[in-house]
Chain A
Amino acid sequence: QITLKESGPTLVKPTQTLTLTCTFSGFSLTSSAVGVGWIRQPPGKALEWLALIYWNDDKYYSPSLESRLTLTKDTSRNQVVLTMTNMDPEDTATYYCAHRLTQFSTTWAIENFQHWGPGALVTVSS
Chain B
Amino acid sequence: AIQMTQSPSSLSAFVGDRVTITCRASQDIRNDLGWYQQRPGKAPKLLIYAASSLQSGVPSRFSGSGSGTDFTLTISSLQPEDFATYYCLQGYNRPLTFGGGTKVEIK
A residues apposed to B, CB below 8 Å: 37, 39, 46-49, 52, 60, 62-64, 96, 98, 103, 105, 108, 110-114, 116-119
Contacts and interface: CB of A to CB of B under 8 A. Distances in A.
Nearest to B43: A116
Nearest to A110: B50
Interface of B: 1, 30-32, 34, 36, 38, 42-46, 49-50, 53, 55, 87, 89, 91, 94-101
Nearest to B99: A46
Contacts of A60: 94-95
A63 B46 contact: no
Contacts of B46: 112-114
B100 A117 contact: no
Contact of A116 (B32, B44, B95, B98): B44
A48 B44 CA distance: 12
Contacts of B99: 46
A63 B49 contact: no
A49 B97 contact: yes
Contact of B95 (A49, A110, A114): A49
Contacts of B94: 52, 60
A117 B44 contact: no
Nearest to B97: A49
A113 B44 contact: yes
Contacts of A116: 43-45
A96 B95 contact: no
A39 B50 CA distance: 20
Given A64-B95, A96-B44, A110-B49, 8 more contacts: A39-B44, A49-B89, A98-B43, A105-B53, A110-B31, A110-B50, A112-B46, A113-B36
